[in-house]
Amino acid sequence: MYILAPSVLGADFTKLGEQIKRADQAGAEYIHLDVMDGEFVPSISFGMPVIKALRGITKKIFDVHLMIEQPERYIEEFAACGADVITVHVESCKHLDRVIHQIKETGAKVGVALNPATPIETIIHVLDLVDMILIMSVNPGFGGQSYIDYSTEKIRSLRNLLNERGLKTDIQVDGGITSDNVNVVLDAGANIIVSGTGVFKGNLEENITRFHEIFKCY
C-alpha cells in the first residue's frame, strides 16, 4: 500500500490545525510529526502539547518521528498523546532492541530511522521486529532541503533485503521529496512518502492529488 505522510514542519504554523484538516480531507493517509530536541538535531520544533492538541482534529494516523536523544525517556508519553507510529533513530538509541520493545508495549507501531550516512547493516538483526524503516534522504533537522541521491541505492538494497527475507515491512522516505522526484523512491521500493514542502508549498489539495495520481501507477 502506498501512503502519503505530509510533514507538518512544512505547514504554516499560524494555521496549523486548519492545514492539517485540509490535508486530512484531501486524502493524506498519515500525518508526519517531526519532534526535534536541539541535541540530536540542531533545531527545536514541537512536542507533546502540540501533538495532543492536534489529536482532537483528525483521526488520521499520527506518524511521530522522534529526532531526539534518548527517546526511551518519552515513549509512553508520546503514545499517550496519540502517536500511532513511533519512529526512533538508530543513532540515538544505545539499546535499540529494548526501545523497540518499549514502543511495542504501548501498542504503537514501531519505526526505526537511519540517517543518510548510517548503513542498513545496523538494523539487519531487528528487521523482523519493526513495522517500518525510515530512510532519511536529507540530514535531519530542517524542512526544504535537497534529496540526497545515494538514498535511492539504499532504499533499493533495503527492499531487496526485505524481499529475500519474505518481509513486507514498510519503507518510508523522508526529505526533499516532491511530486517531481517521488518516482525515483517509489521505483526503488519505498511505499510511505513523507513530504513537507512538497505538500504545503503552493496548493495543498492539488499537491496531495498529484502524489496520489503517481501512486496509482505503482
Annotated binding site for a divalent metal cation: 32, 34, 65, 174
Residues in CB range of 194: below 8 A, 6 or more apart: 5, 6, 7, 32, 63, 65, 134, 172, 173, 174, 175, 177
d(CA 86, CA 62): 9
209's contact among ligand DX5, Zn ion, none, with CB below 5 to 8 A by partner kind, is none
Q: How many residues in the chain?
A: 218
Q: Compute CA distances 137 → 42, 59, 68, 75, 88, whole Å.
A: 17, 28, 18, 24, 16
Q: Could you confirm whether 170 is annotated as catalytic?
A: no
User: Which residue number, 27 or 125, has a Cβ lying nearer to ligand DX5?
Assistant: 27
Q: b/e string for 54-84 if b means 16 or more Cβ within 10 A?
A: beeebebbbbbbbbbeebbebbeebbebbbb
Catalytic, out of 34, 37, 63, 170: 34
**Candidate list 128, 149, 174, 180, residue with the active-site label:** 174
Least distance to ligand DX5, CB of residue 145, Å: 5
Q: Does 34 bind Zn ion (CB under 5 A)?
A: yes
Touching Zn ion, residues 117-176 (CB under 5 A): 174
Q: Nearest residue to Zn ion, using CB? A: 65
Compare residues 67 and 204 and give the one whose CB is closer to Zn ion: 67
Can 174 be counted among the known catalytic residues? yes
Residues at the site binding ligand DX5, with contacts judged by CB under 6 A: 7, 9-10, 32, 34, 65, 138, 140-145, 174-177, 194-198
Active site (catalytic) residues: 34, 174
